[in-house]
Structure 1
Amino acid sequence: MEIIIVLLIVAADQITKYIAIEYLQPLKTVTVLEGIFSLSYVENRGAAFGILQNQRWFLIILPILIVAAIIIYLAKHRNESLLTRICLSVIVGGAVGNLIDRIKLGYVVDMFEATFIEFPVFNTADIAVVCGTIILSFQLILHDGSGMRNNKPDESKPKDEVSGETV
């Protein structure tokens, strides 16, 4: 299942980037909803918010290490919750999508622009990484390691001495 998720994310990312290169690059920007959303062709040689500009090798090596760590984790923790496995797969798919651009082009193609706020132009891979990370964070905060809601017994309540159950 994880491989299918990764492949779907990478395919969606690469298709949207191909469309941006072929059709959006000559136009530079197309307003979709005035003052809200535009499609803008950007060649991003750094990371989010313009940091790490022209640090191509660092931005290739770091995601490779992160993807490798996630793959090793998934391989060793096959009993991890379904939601956790899905989130990690979505993150890997996004990381691989941007990694393909950095290796092939030397930059990442971005195209989605939320014009109602001051925010960097982003792409499908970025959406996958951010959404996967946010959902995984909530998963880790709201659930214990087994993927089940943390329903630890209330130690302040008296227990039956024979069965050990809370009375």
Structure 2
Amino acid sequence: MIYYLLALAVFLLDQLAKWLVVQNMQVGESIPIIPHFLYFTSLRNTGAAWSILQGQFTIFFVITVLVLGTVIYLMQKAGRKQPLLGTSLGLIIGGTLGNFSDRLLRGEVVDFVHAYPLGYNFPVFNLADSSLFIGVVLLLIYMYLDGKKAK
């Protein structure tokens, strides 16, 4: 149950942040947080990461439903008993729902975190994207450790 609460917290925080961006910033507006490194930049995306597959709503809908179904199944089967796995799946569920609800309600995803690590102009993302990334990294760590344990 705790991992579903994590998913809910991620979802709600993501949606609150996006709502604040939509209410208070114009699309394309950028606010420096740490000059030359981190900005809030209000953008919209109808595609996936790095704006690939723009406008392919049906593909995203089908993939999202399949991924959510699979992740929830894994959570029920094993995630509730394994803290690292449960945490990773909770983060994946929360992030997936955050971007999925944007696509359903707005027809596009609200992105706003714009970073320039080491001068590289990293694509603009959101909290749901961050949650998905961290969840996948934790899942890979879990799989690596579980594989070592099995040997």
So what's the TM-score if we normalise by structure 2?
0.90
Q: Which residue of 2 aligns with 1:90?
A: 91
Using the alignment, how far apart are the partners of 1:78 and 1:53 within structure 2?
A: 33
Instruction: Specify which of 132, 135, 142 is matched with residue 132 of structure 1.
Output: 135
Using the alignment, how far apart are the partners of 1:64 and 1:99 within structure 2?
A: 9
| Amino acid aligned to 2:65 | I
Aligned residues: 148
Larger RCO (CA under 8 A, 6+ residues apart) = 2
Q: What CA deviation, in whole Å up to 9, does each residue of 1:94-122 have, x standing for no partner?
A: 00000000000000000000033132100
Q: Which residue of 2 aligns with 1:56?
A: 57
Q: Which residue of 2 aligns with 1:150?
A: 149
| Amino acid aligned to 2:122 | F
- The verdict on how the C-alpha distance between 1:78 and 1:107 changes in structure 2, with shifts beyond 3 A counting, is closer
Using the alignment, how far apart are the partners of 2:78 and 2:149 within structure 1?
A: 19
Using the alignment, how far apart are the partners of 2:86 and 2:27 within structure 1?
A: 39
| Amino acid aligned to 2:50 | F
Q: CA deviation at 1:24?
A: 1.9
SS state at 2:146 partner: coil
Cα RMSD between the aligned structures?
1.8
Between Structure 1 and Structure 2, whose CA radius of gyration is higher?
1
Using the alignment, how far apart are the partners of 1:121 and 1:128 within structure 2?
A: 14
Question: Is 1:11–2:12 an aligned residue pair?
Answer: yes
Task: List gaps (5 residues or longer) in structure 2.
Answer: none
- The verdict on how the C-alpha distance between 1:120 and 1:87 changes in structure 2, with shifts beyond 3 A counting, is same
Among all aligned residue pairs of Structure 1 and Structure 2, give the percentage whose two residues are the same amino acid.
Answer: 28
| Amino acid aligned to 2:82 | S
- The verdict on how the C-alpha distance between 1:150 and 1:30 changes in structure 2, with shifts beyond 3 A counting, is same
Using the alignment, how far apart are the partners of 2:67 and 2:140 within structure 1?
A: 16
Q: CA deviation at 1:73?
A: 1.7
Using the alignment, how far apart are the partners of 1:79 and 1:19 within structure 2?
A: 33
Using the alignment, how far apart are the partners of 1:69 and 1:21 within structure 2?
A: 31
Q: What CA deviation, in whole Å up to 9, does each residue of 1:75-108 have, x standing for no partner?
A: 2226641110111111010000000000000000
Task: List gaps (5 residues or longer) in structure 1.
Answer: 153-167
**Which consecutive aligned stretches of 4+ in structure 1 deviate over 6 angstroms post-superposition?**
none
